[in-house]
Amino acid sequence: MSKEQKSSRGRQDSNKKSSSKNKFGNKKDKNYRINPNNIKNYKKKPSKDTSKNEEIKKGIRLNKYISNAGICSRREADVYIAAGNASVNGKIIVEMGYQVQPDDIVKFDGQSLTPETKQYILLNKPKNYITTMDDERGRKTVMDLVGAATKERIYPVGRLDRATTGLLLFTNDGELTKKLTHPKHNVRKLYHATLDKKLKMSDLQKIAANFVLEGKMVFVDDISYVTGKPKSEIGIEIHSGRNRIVRKIFAHFGYKVVKLDRVIFAGLTKKNLPRGFHRHLTKQELNYLRMI
């Protein structure tokens, strides 16, 4: 074989060897897999025509809109939509996936719906905050503590006076607020009261037996001494929504409430909720409240 033939064959062998390597310099074989760390990630460029995307972004599906209004679940809303129960700007909508725009007027069975997402926030109220939306005298309000929790406008369910601490619920769900504040639903409220002196057993029994206060009957669901504490520390459970009712009960029998803390409200507790902090209700807690 001539030198020219040998050199030519050598070049071919060299080309074969080089072609057996991939662009990362690794020899090819049937079990070879490219290291994913060596592969560049390319982001998909956004569509030039964003007008349609922006329009969809601003809208909200009709079934979600109805669900957010507290009427029913999204799945149930689909059934009602198909049946013609919903209208937008006066027109019956039966289209699944219809996008409601911010300025649209949505009605369900002829009643206008509010687009706000329902919010449920629980606060462990500290002392020296008043239960009001704002105060003309510049005093601290509970809204100073929960105002940044949501963009929706929420309201306190019931009241706690300035000196009283403990659980306070905030929501924009009007139906639930009515339910939790109406005496007929017997919503449980448990208070830990610290008195200026020991509560006599005879007075405790009188309170437990119910009595007339300011011309109205007071019904106390339960009352007892706090276990392991002095006889001046009392646990009292009521469902009345009368203003300052716990303080008035003890004052009626000659006692002054030094400290008052609401530790349970409608089954909600202060567990893992420090004083001055707030949190959103869990789905389980919300489901419980709706069954009251």
Burial state string for 130-140 with b = 16 or more CB within 10 A and e = fewer than 16: bbeeeeeeeee
Structure tokens at 246: 């716990």
Residue 161 among the catalytic residues: yes
For CA atoms 66, 71, 74, 80, the dihedral sign is negative
What whole-number distance in Å separates Cα of residue 286 and Cα of residue 59?
27
Annotated active-site residue in 13, 109, 144, 161: 161
CA 160, distance to chain mean position in Å, is: 21
Residue 177, Cβ density class (10 Å: 0-12 exposed, 13-18 middle, ≥19 buried) = middle
What whole-number distance in Å separates Cα of residue 278 and Cα of residue 123?
4
Contact indicator for 237, 189 with CB cutoff of 8 Å: yes
In which region does residue 76 sit, left (phi positive, over 0), alpha (psi from -120 to 50) or beta (all else)?
alpha
Q: Mind telling me the catalytic residues?
A: 161
